[in-house]
């Protein structure tokens, strides 16, 4: 897309940890004008996902893996040290890319390395405003990092979160950021062979959710008289679908880790969900708590699934905040002398059958 009419280049730095960041960033990019040159910077399964969605992607990041044992996050201090090293590698990478592409602005989905290296127009997308992975001495280090993160947040032209609360200073809460659904639910149920009540089990883009797949297999075998079960293990475990959002909309119940992207999609599309967090992962535990779940519910998953299957599908859904996010990105760019870059004729989920 280089050399288009407006010749507006945006570097969009997407966290490569899992698929949630890539999914919502793709939703936002679809709301920007087609003559805007959006170049994603990510890595691994996230980069592959964005590429399959038709975006231009630089696959340059390799994040440290979480050490998950039977659904429990282990060795958090070691992970934090590895993450700090990764952060400084990403600083060098992002600086090189900023010099090479000379972007008009950058958008960062929880990539604080890029924010630290850019002094122009910048927008942050994030779920949380501080991390709480460690305690004790390591917690002191993490708190120092949180202070630096707060400084970077304050320097941003806009900070976008998927929360549903009031805005504060430069923090804008737009609600769930999810991809559009372009087909009626019944069409998608036929497409994915959902002829009966269907439970969708999905664990995102890492190996962390294998414990949930293992827990759900005997449940699936036991409930065959009342429902079918579809397992989507994610790209790490051999599943490479880019249309998981369609399957979440079509399913009767979704069983998932408590990652923000999946819970937001289920909420936005009106699909009942059971969300089991990784034990010790503060972000997932906080998110699961909003729906009334804890890691201990893994031991009661059979009864929870049957209970959800008996409940009617809610009629109220939450519209996607992707359009609002695109408008905020465009507004930030305009404040720096640019022209409007969001697409004012975007289609909302309500308009296309979601």
Euclidean distance between CA atoms 217 and 224, whole angstroms: 11
Domains of the chain (ranges, CATH numbers): 8-178+320-352 (3.40.50.2000), 185-310 (3.40.50.2000)
Which tokens go with 114? 């890029």
Euclidean distance between CA atoms 294 and 71, whole angstroms: 12
pLDDT given for residue 241 in this prediction: 82
Which tokens go with 176? 């769930």
pLDDT given for residue 159 in this prediction: 97
Using the structure block, give the residue that is written with the tokens 């507006």. Answer: 8
Nearest to 55 by CA among 95, 94, 23: 23
pLDDT given for residue 139 in this prediction: 67
pLDDT given for residue 204 in this prediction: 78
Euclidean distance between CA atoms 338 and 330, whole angstroms: 8
Main-chain dihedrals φ then ψ at residue 59, nearest 5 degrees: -90, 90
pLDDT given for residue 191 in this prediction: 97
Nearest to 176 by CA among 244, 128, 108, 127: 127
Euclidean distance between CA atoms 271 and 91, whole angstroms: 39
Euclidean distance between CA atoms 95 and 41, whole angstroms: 12
Euclidean distance between CA atoms 148 and 152, whole angstroms: 6
DSSP symbols for 43-107: -HHHHHHHHHTT-EEEE---PPPPEEETTEEE-HHHHHHHHHHHHHHHHHHHHHHHHHH--SEEE
Weakly modelled stretches of the chain, pLDDT under 70? 1-7, 130-142, 205, 235-238, 316, 344-354
Using the structure block, give the residue that is written with the tokens 């940890």. Answer: 17
Main-chain dihedrals φ then ψ at residue 16, nearest 5 degrees: -90, 5
Helix 20-29, helix 322-335: angle, nearest 10: 70
DSSP symbols for 128-152: -SS-----HHHHHHHHHHHHHHHHH
Euclidean distance between CA atoms 65 and 341, whole angstroms: 36
**pLDDT tens digits for 155-186?**
999 999 999 888 988 999 999 999 999 999 99
Euclidean distance between CA atoms 135 and 60, whole angstroms: 31
Euclidean distance between CA atoms 227 and 222, whole angstroms: 10
Euclidean distance between CA atoms 321 and 125, whole angstroms: 12
């Amino acid at each position: 897309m280089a050399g288009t009419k407006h010749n507006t280049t945006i570097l969009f730095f997407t966290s490569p940890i899992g698929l949630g960041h890539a999914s919502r960033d793709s939703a936002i990019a679809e709301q920007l004008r087609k003559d805007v040159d959006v170049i994603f910077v990510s890595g691994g399964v996230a980069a592959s996902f964005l590429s399959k969605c038709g975006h231009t992607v630089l696959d340059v990041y390799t994040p440290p893996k979480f050490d998950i044992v039977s659904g429990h996050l282990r060795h958090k201090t070691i992970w934090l040290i590895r993450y700090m090293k990764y952060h400084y590698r990403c600083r060098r990478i992002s600086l090189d890319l900023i010099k090479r592409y000379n972007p008009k602005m950058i958008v960062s989905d929880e990539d604080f390395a890029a924010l630290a290296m850019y002094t122009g127009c910048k927008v942050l997308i994030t779920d949380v405003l501080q991390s709480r992975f460690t305690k004790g001495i390591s917690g002191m280090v993490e708190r120092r990092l949180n202070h630096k993160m707060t400084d970077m947040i304050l320097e941003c032209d806009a900070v976008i979160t998927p929360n549903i609360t009031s805005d504060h200073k430069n923090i804008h809460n737009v609600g769930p950021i999810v991809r559009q659904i372009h087909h009626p639910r019944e069409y998608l149920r036929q497409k994915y062979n959902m002829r009966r009540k269907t439970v969708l089990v999905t664990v995102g883009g890492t190996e962390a959710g294998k414990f949930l797949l293992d827990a759900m297999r005997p449940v699936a075998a036991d409930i065959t008289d009342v429902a079918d079960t579809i397992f989507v293990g994610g790209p790490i475990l051999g599943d490479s679908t880019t249309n998981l959002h369609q399957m979440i909309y079509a399913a009767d119940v979704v069983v998932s880790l408590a990652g923000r992207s999946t819970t937001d999609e289920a909420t936005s599309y009106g699909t009942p969900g059971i969300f089991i967090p990784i034990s010790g992962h503060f972000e997932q535990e906080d998110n699961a708590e909003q729906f009334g779940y804890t890691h201990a519910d893994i031991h009661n998953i059979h009864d929870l699934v049957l209970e959800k299957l008996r409940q009617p599908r809610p009629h109220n859904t939450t519209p996607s905040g992707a359009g609002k996010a695109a408008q905020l990105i465009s507004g930030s760019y305009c404040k720096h002398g640019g022209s409007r870059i969001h697409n004012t004729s975007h289609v909302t989920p309500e308009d296309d059958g979601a």
